[in-house]
């Protein structure tokens, strides 16, 4: 644990710098540049709102905001998981030439995803204002909820990153898994009203993403308190995953260079 | 004065009984791992019990035929590989493996890459800031420093990369083949810079090279590796003739 904190302190700046560099290079030579960061989430939101709001006639109030909150949360998780699986192999050059604690790579990646998520959040708020969603002070609870999301995704990402080195086809598996979680998280439907009874309870209880998404909507759209107990439980699970991930990586990271 | 220095010789690197084996984390697919328990894991011993010490300020050359474990050893000392057995003690010195263009992002400008690469090598932003001008001057690529690296010619690329590694110095330098890059003038300049870096009396250097001429010129100690074992260690005068004889 000490080593983790020491390394964080030493490489934190690098992680930030390299995240900035990556964002910069992402838009360096595209025609619309950084506008893509805004256009992309809006387009996805429009597609989902059209398909599930108009085609499937969803009667959810403030449906566009509802979808956008879900998407914001989902995209972050999705990026973290897909990004982490091949992270080491994609950074082959780095890994075989210098020593760097491998979780710093994920940390740096996560910063770029956090940045994209904050843009998406800003659009969410703008959309909520536009749709006249009643806004109360419950809204501030979105911060602790996102922290839980971050810790959980980071922990899971660390573990996947480790196994991604040795298993070539882990990315196929995670893609299937992610697709399933996507449909079971209620990005475009309300789990509590669409799925009645035990099924919704099971989903919200076992699927952290569904749970976090639901909590986010509770505080942002429905002006309710989040369920603090469950948030703490998932924070604890996330922290545990992080601890396991850091431990596994400390133990194995120097062997990665031999494999890839 | 000279005697006094000799008496408190400081050891900069201690390598004890170093074993490195390639195995364990083998690239595999999930399908292949069903039968994994039955399959015997293939082992390749790159280093089999190597021990040596390097004093501070010394320049150690490592020679040996291809596949004798030279590069593996350098990487292990740099901390990229973990030893399977044995230990490496750097006595608190900072270390870098001289390699070119680590962590470059080709879409960013040369200047930004100086920071990116430097921070990766473990330097702080302030330290790089101090050396930035020196690096740019040394690289000598003019206005291109503010242009994306992907627009560079391969010569300019290696010039910048070399400048970064050469100007941001560490206590111990590990060099895998002495680098001389760029056009003729820069080649000379980089070779001289290299010599200057290497011969700093506080800097400990390990050089891996196939060019016996370079080794004879630069090193004051030579380690001869053969099939992952130390065959001989001593001054260049002692080791090099025997090695040449052996190779024939």
Burial of residue A55, with CB atoms counted within 10 A of its CB: 0-12 exposed, 13-18 middle, 19 or more buried: exposed
List A residues 236-255 in contact with B (Cβ-Cβ < 8 A): 252, 254-255
CB nearest A97 (choices: B29, B99, B112): B99
Domain that holds residue A17: 2-259
Please say if the pLDDT value at position A254 is more than 80: no
Nearest CA in chain B to A30: B107
CB contact under 8 A, B107 and A257: no
Question: Which of A28, A168, A260 is closest, CB to CB, to B29?
Answer: A168
Q: Is the pLDDT of residue B173 over 90?
A: no
Nearest CA in chain B to A100: B120
Query: Mean pLDDT, to the nearest integer, of B65-70?
Result: 83
| Domain spans of chain B, in order of start | 10-94+207-247
Q: What is the pLDDT of residue A215?
A: 92
Model pLDDT for residues A191-244, shown as the tens digit of each residue: 888 777 788 888 888 899 999 999 999 999 988 899 899 999 999 999 999 999
Flag if A259 and B82 touch (Cβ within 8 Å): no
Tokens of A88: 């080491």
Average pLDDT over residues B57-73: 85
Nearest CA in chain A to B99: A97
DSSP B28: B
Q: What's the pLDDT score for residue A77?
A: 96
Mean pLDDT of B213-218: 84
- Top residue of A10, A13, A98, A104 to mutate, by most chain B CBs within 10 Å, is A98
Q: What is the mean pLDDT of residues B148-157?
A: 85
Decide if A12 touches B, using CB distance below 8 A.
no
Task: Summarize pLDDT for B14-36 with one digit per residue, the tens.
Answer: 888 888 877 555 566 666 665 55
**Which residues of chain B make contact with A173, given a CB cutoff of 8 A?**
30
Tokens of A48: 């989902």
Do the beta carbons of residue B62 and residue B243 sit within 8 Å?
no
- The answer for residues whose C-beta is within 8 angstroms of residue B227's C-beta and 6 or more apart is B48, B68, B69
Q: What is the DSSP letter of B82?
A: P
Find the residue in A nearest to B112 (Cα): A21
- Taking CB atoms within 8 Å and a gap of at least 24, the contacts of B70-75 are B70/B208, B70/B225, B71/B176, B71/B208, B72/B20, B72/B46, B72/B47, B73/B15, B73/B18, B73/B20, B73/B47, B73/B225, B74/B174, B74/B176, B74/B206, B74/B208, B75/A96, B75/A257
Nearest to B120 among A28, A100, A255 (CB): A100
Q: Is the pLDDT of residue A37 over 90?
A: no
Residue B122 pLDDT > 60: yes
Nearest C-alpha of chain A: how many angstroms from B101?
9
Give the nearest chain A residue to B149 (CA atoms): A25
What is the model's pLDDT at position B24? 52
Contacts of B33 (CB under 8 A, 6+ apart): A167
Q: What is the mean pLDDT of residues A21-41?
A: 83
B107 touches chain A (CB under 8 A): yes
What pLDDT, on a 0 to 100 scale, did the predictor assign at position B36? 52
A167 contacts B30? CB cut-off 8 A: yes
Neighbour-count burial for A188-200, b at 16+ CB within 10 Å, e otherwise: bbbbbeebeeeeb
pLDDT band at B5 (very low <50, low <70, confident <90, very high): very low
Using one digit for the tens of pLDDT, what is the confidence trace for A144-194?
A: 999 999 999 999 999 999 998 888 788 899 999 999 999 888 888 888 887
Rounded CA-CA distance B181/B156 in Å is 9
For residues B158-180, average pLDDT: 80
Helical residues (DSSP H) of chain B, grouped into ranges: 2-7, 30-34, 70-78, 110-120, 125-139, 154-167, 184-199, 212-218, 236-247
A256 touches chain B (CB under 8 A): yes
Residue A255 and residue B107: Cβ atoms within 8 Å?
no
Sheet holding B172-176, edge to edge: B95-98, B172-176, B204-208, B59-63, B221-226, B229-234
Say yes or no: A150 contacts chain B, CB-CB below 8 A. Answer: no
Q: Cα–chain-centroid distance for residue A232?
A: 18
| Contact residues on chain A for B115, CB-CB shorter than 8 A | 17
Is residue B42 pLDDT above 70, yes or no? no
The dihedrals phi and psi of B85, each to the nearest 5 degrees, come to -150, 155
In A, minimum Cα distance to B121 occurs at: A98
> Touching check for A99 and chain B: CB below 8 Å?
yes
Most confident of A63-72, A153-162, A248-257, B186-195: A153-162
Q: How distant is the Cα of A210 from the closest Cα of chain B, in angstroms?
A: 29
The domain tally of chain A equals 1
| A14 contacts on B by Cβ (under 8 Å) | 119-120
Helices B154-167 and B184-199: crossing angle, nearest 10°?
20
Q: Do A168 and B27 touch (CB under 8 A)?
A: yes
Q: Are B64 and B224 in contact (CB under 8 A)?
A: yes
Res B3: pLDDT = 40
Rounded to an integer, the average pLDDT of B199-208 is: 84
pLDDT digits (tens, 9 = 90+) for A70-103: 999 999 999 999 999 999 888 888 888 888 889 9
- The pLDDT-based confidence of B181 (bands split at 50, 70, 90) is low
The beta-carbon contacts of B21-27 under 8 Å, at least 24 apart in sequence, are: B21/B45, B21/B46, B21/B84, B22/A258, B22/B46, B24/A255, B24/A258, B25/A165, B25/A166, B25/A252, B25/A255, B25/A256, B25/A258, B25/A259, B26/A166, B26/A259, B27/A166, B27/A168, B27/A259, B27/A260
Supply the pTM of this predicted model: 0.84
Nearest CB to B80; choose among A166, A173, A257: A257
**Across the interface, which of A14, A24, A169 has its CB nearest the CB of B30?**
A169
Distance of CA B18 to the CA centre of its chain: 17
Q: Is B205 left (phi over 0), alpha (psi -120 to 50) or beta?
A: beta
- List chain A residues with CB under 8 Å of B78: 98-99
**Distance from first CA to last CA of chain A, Å, rounded?**
27
What is the 3-state secondary structure of chain A? CHHHHHHHHHHHHHHHHHHHHHHHHHHCCCCCCCHHHHHHHHHHHHHHHHHHHHHCCCCCCCHHHHHHHHHHHHHHHHHHHHHHHCHHHHCHHHHHHCCCCHHHHHHHHHHHHHHHHHHHHHHHHHHHHHCCCCCCHHHHHHHHHHHHHHHHHHHHHHHHHHHHHHECCHHHHHHHHHHHHHHCCCCCCCHHHHCCCHHHHHHHHHCHHHHHHHHHHHHHCCCCCCCHHHHHHHHHHHHHHHHHHHHHHHHHHHHHHHHC
- The better pLDDT of the pair A155, B235 is held by A155
Lowest mean pLDDT among A47-51, A255-259, B27-31, B96-100: B27-31
Q: Do A18 and B25 touch (CB under 8 A)?
A: no
Q: In the CATH hierarchy, which fold is given to the domain comprising B10-94+207-247?
A: Rossmann fold (3.40.50)
Alpha-carbon span A58 to A226, nearest angstrom:
24
Residue carrying the six token digits 């002006």: A223
């Amino acid at each position: 644990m000490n080593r983790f904190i020491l390394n964080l302190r030493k490489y934190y700046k690098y992680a930030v710098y390299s995240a900035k560099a990556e964002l910069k290079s992402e838009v360096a030579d595209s025609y619309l540049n950084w506008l893509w960061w805004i256009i992309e989430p809006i387009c996805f939101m429009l597609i989902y709102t059209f398909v599930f709001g108009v085609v499937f006639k969803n009667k959810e109030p403030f449906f566009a905001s509802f979808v956008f909150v879900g998407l914001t949360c989902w995209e972050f998780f999705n990026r973290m998981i897909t990004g982490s699986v091949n992270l080491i192999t994609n950074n082959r050059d780095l890994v075989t030439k210098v020593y760097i604690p491998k979780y710093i790579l994920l940390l740096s990646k996560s910063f770029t995803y956090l940045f994209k998520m904050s843009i998406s959040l800003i659009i969410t708020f703008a959309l909520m204002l536009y749709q006249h969603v009643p806004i109360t002070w419950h809204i501030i609870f979105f911060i602790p909820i996102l922290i839980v999301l971050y810790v959980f995704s980071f922990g899971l990402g660390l573990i996947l990153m480790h196994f991604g080195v040795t298993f070539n086809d882990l990315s196929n598996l995670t893609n299937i898994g992610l697709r399933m979680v996507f449909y079971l998280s209620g990005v475009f439907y309300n789990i509590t009203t669409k799925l009645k009874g035990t099924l919704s309870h099971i989903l919200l209880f076992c699927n952290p993403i569904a749970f976090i998404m639901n909590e986010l909507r509770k505080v942002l759209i429905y002006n309710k308190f989040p369920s603090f107990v469950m948030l703490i439980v998932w924070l604890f699970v996330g922290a545990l995953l992080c601890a396991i991930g850091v431990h596994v990586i400390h133990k194995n990271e120097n062997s990665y260079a031999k494999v890839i | 004065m000279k005697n006094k220095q000799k008496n408190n010789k400081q050891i900069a690197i201690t390598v004890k009984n170093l074993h490195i084996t390639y195995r364990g984390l083998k690239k595999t697919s999930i399908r292949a791992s069903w039968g994994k328990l039955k399959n015997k894991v293939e082992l390749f011993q790159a280093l089999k019990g190597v021990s040596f010490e390097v004093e501070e300020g010394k320049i150690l050359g490592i020679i040996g035929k291809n596949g004798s474990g030279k590069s593996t050893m350098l990487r292990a000392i740099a901390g990229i590989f973990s030893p399977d057995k044995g230990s490496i003690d750097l006595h608190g010195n900072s270390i870098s493996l001289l390699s070119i263009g680590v962590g470059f992002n080709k879409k960013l400008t040369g200047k930004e890459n100086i920071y990116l690469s430097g921070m990766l090598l473990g330097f702080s932003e302030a330290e790089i800031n101090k050396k930035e001008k020196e690096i740019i001057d040394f690289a000598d690529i003019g206005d291109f420093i503010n242009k994306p690296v992907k627009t560079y010619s391969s010569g300019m690329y290696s010039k910048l990369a070399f400048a970064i590694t050469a100007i941001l110095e560490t206590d111990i330098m590990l060099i895998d083949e002495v680098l001389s890059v760029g056009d003729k003038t820069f080649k000379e300049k980089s070779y001289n810079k290299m010599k200057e870096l290497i011969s700093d009396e506080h800097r400990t250097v390990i050089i891996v090279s196939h060019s016996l001429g370079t080794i004879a010129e630069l090193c004051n100690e030579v380690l001869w590796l053969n099939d992952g074992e130390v065959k001989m260690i001593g001054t260049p005068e002692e080791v090099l003739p025997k090695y040449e004889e052996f190779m024939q």
